[in-house]
Structure 1
Amino acid sequence: MTAATASALPIVSLNPPIAAVSLRSGTNHITLSTQRRRLCLVQVANDSKATEVSPDRVIEKSEADKIVDGMDFGELCNEFECISSPSVKATARQLVRDILELRDGNRALGIYAVSVKYKDPVRSFTGREKYKRPLWSIDALDKPNVSVQDMVMLSTSVLNIKWTLKGNPKNPIASVGGPVIVKVNSHFTLNQISGQVIEHEETWDLSSSSTIAQAYFWASRRLFSTIESAKDFSDSLKNVSSSLSTEKENVDFYPDPSGDPRKFFQTEDDFQRDAIQIALFVALLYFLVQFLRTTL
């Protein structure tokens, strides 16, 4: 074998397996295996980098989740008994999410009990169906925004959220006084088992608003409350009328006292007519009292 042939062997043996090269030269074998190992390490490093980036894009907590995760709910259960339930935490998470998003007529009604009681300085009502109605802030303020300052469990069934509502009045005259800034203190009483809200009370602090902004707030809020009370009155009339109609259907005819199932008697309508008139008068009187209480 000539020297020229021997020098050409490593170039020809690059394509065959490394084992064939190792028969020719141990040095070449070591060099090739090191290069291949480096290639493999680079490929693995790229794969690991790809898997590290993707979770960061997917796992992003909302502001509501961050607030709730930072809360201390206390010890819901110990080794002997459970004094509350995880549903309380789920309700708290949804409540703060609804406040932050300020969703108009799209609140999570399931977190409220059917007979939930609501109260603020100018209005009170019972029933979660009324939470479907539009919010005052959407009608009265231009692009309102919300921030949550504090959220704490006062006990295993009492949640307190402090938040601020800010927005410019939609009325051009009132907008001269600057934005309406309302510091709201929302007090929720929860059912410890189901986690549903059974009582909801709010208090307001407008000390950060100007005199004009405060006047606009109270005037628009009382007007809003009066309109909502009128809706309550209308709903009450519908419920009374519906219940009386159902009762009338049940008592218009009654069986023959003699026992013959083929005979029925029809009752007089005078009593039903009087009952309807009395109900309407009482409802009208109730509405008048509520209107005077909110305006005076």
Structure 2
Amino acid sequence: MAACCDDFVCTSSPAVENSVRTLARDIQRADGSWTRRILAPDVVYKDNFRSFKGIQGYDSLDFVPNVVSPSRVTIRRMRMLRQDLAVVEWVLEGRLGPLSLSVQGETEAQLNLLSGRIVEQRESWPGAPLPWTLARALWSVGKKTKDTVRDKKQFVE
């Protein structure tokens, strides 16, 4: 990732640049942990199957480390579309059960210009292989079910 990050030119504030570089490192690490200091408290996350609001939702973004093994993410490109909108393009390679897979993905982050924090993150995987799509959909249903049960318990308490 160093070469890609070294080529990245941020056209925004230093805080935004730091957050975009940190986001790219989080994506490349692919271990399910996210640097919380770059996320706004009410950050919105969306992908093809899952969405939530708030930092706590990032605790459950563990599909890759729990389902794809071993996994390796390569950052292909980082760019600014606007001063408050960055895109990180990446490729995930690994095994999904007995199948080898390669998924090209894109992470779009809308950022607060002053704080540099991510206010919205969108993930997409255009043309992803069918096994990835099915596994991701099933994982998302399981996470949504757990979230619903947790929320109902909290409401009752």
The two structures have a TM-score, normalised by structure 2, of 0.90
1:120-153 C-alpha deviation (Å, 9 max, x unpaired)? 1111111111112252112222201111111001
- The more displaced of 146-155 and 130-139 is 130-139
Whole-Å Cα distance in 1 between the matches of residues 91 and 67 of structure 2? Answer: 16
Which residue does the alignment assign to 1:188?
109
Which residue does the alignment assign to 2:18?
90
AA aligned opposite 2:140: S
Q: Give matches, 1:54-133, under 5 Å.
A: 63-64=1-2, 66-74=3-11, 76=12, 85-104=13-32, 106-133=33-60
AA aligned opposite 2:21: R
Which residue does the alignment assign to 1:205?
126
| 8 A Cα contact 1:68 1:92, kept in partner | no
Whole-Å Cα distance in 2 between the matches of residues 241 and 223 of structure 1? Answer: 27
Q: Give matches, 1:230-269, under 5 Å.
A: 230-242=145-157
Q: How many percent identity over aligned positions?
A: 27
Q: CA deviation at 1:183?
A: 0.6
2:133 alignment partner, SS class: helix
1:68 alignment partner, SS class: helix
Task: Report the aligned-residue RMSD.
Answer: 1.7
Q: Which runs of 5+ in 2 are unaligned?
A: none
Which residue does the alignment assign to 1:22?
none
Higher helix share: 1
2:151 alignment partner, SS class: helix
Aligned length: 157
Q: Which runs of 5+ in 1 are unaligned?
A: 1-62, 77-84, 208-213, 243-296
The two structures have a TM-score, normalised by structure 1, of 0.50
AA aligned opposite 1:140: V
